[in-house]
Amino acid sequence: MGKNKTKRLNSEGFWGYLMIAPTILGLMMLNIYPFIKTVILSFSSTKAFGQYEFSGISNYKEMLGNAEFWKATWNSIYFCILTVPVGVFISLLVAVFLNEKIKGRVIFRAIYFLPMVVAPAAVAMVWKWMFNTEYGIINEVFGIHVNWLTNPSIVLGTCAIVAIWSAIGYDAVLLLSGIQNISGSYYEAASLDGAGKIKQFIHITLPMVSPTIFVVVIMRLMASLKVYDLIYMMVEQSNPSLTSAQSLMYLFYRESFVAGDKGYASAIVVWTVLLIGFVTAIQFWGQKKWVHYDV
């Protein structure tokens, strides 16, 4: 009996490893190996014909002494500040709205989720036209003349508006799933005690959906620190405000694929990974104070 059980467990283990093998291989080839290669390249200098030569920490010295690099770092952090709090808050409100018993609820959910299935390039191009100074619909409707994409003071905020709009649907769906897992008995008891919708939201919805909010915040922070395609599509290289909008990943693209200095570009990637890891570690440390897994 014991031998049969052991054979069955071994068989189940074999099929289990076999099923996850494609994912593990994909992770190794598409994530782990490229990152290891990137770390190695960050300590190398680029030579002719794709050759590399070990150069120690020279790339990091150059990077840390470059004012443009620090500006790109601040732009990435500032982009997070602009997008994450506002985006998550709006997504939470949308999730609460979509959880209510209203007519056409399924249609509203599809409409809010639609930006996530549209190509980012198409989204950026439409918003770029809307923010155009001369014939953009936003300036025309409000009767103003604002240089949304060429003013260094507001260009990153303009890109942040598009990023928030694009992510609301996806984040709202995740938060909606968390809200729907909350037992209705809590709200019934609160109603009997005379608690209104606002008090129910603050004392029931927020604490019980906080684990989902935590996941959404982590995902949005990572995405914001890695932003590239949105800025690339909306801010042209000839745009005088590019320096004020250039993110770390945009700087990586420029150094790697335009300038061809892959060693220096790899150092930027390593820095970005460390920055994301640092921000994520702070979030995991701080979750003890506001995330409630047992309510």
Which string of DSSP letters, residue by residue, matches 105-154?
HHHHHHHHHHHHHS-HHHHHHHHHHHT-TTT-HHHHHHT----TTT-TTT
CB 108 within 8 A of CB 98: yes
pLDDT per residue over 204-217, tens digit each? 888 899 999 999 99
Q: For residue 123, what pLDDT is reported? A: 86
- Altogether, the residues listed in the chain come to a count of 295
pLDDT per residue over 6-26, tens digit each? 665 566 777 778 888 888 898
Work out the number of other CB atoms within 10 angstroms of the CB of residue 262: 22
CB 202 within 8 A of CB 266: no
Q: Give the Cα separation of 98 and 109 in Å (integer).
A: 7
The dihedral sign for the CA sequence 113, 118, 124, 126? negative
Q: What is the set of domains in the chain, with CATH numbers?
A: 69-290 (1.10.3720.10)
**What backbone torsions phi and psi does residue 268 show, to the nearest 5 degrees?**
-65, -40
Q: Give the Cα separation of 110 and 281 in Å (integer).
A: 34
Q: Report, as ranges of residue numbers, the positions in the chain whose pLDDT lies below 50.
A: 1
Give residue 163's Cα distance to chain centre.
9
pLDDT per residue over 73-102, tens digit each? 999 999 999 999 999 999 999 898 888 877
Q: pTM of the full predicted structure?
A: 0.86
Q: For residue 36, what pLDDT is reported? A: 92
CB 224 within 8 A of CB 79: yes
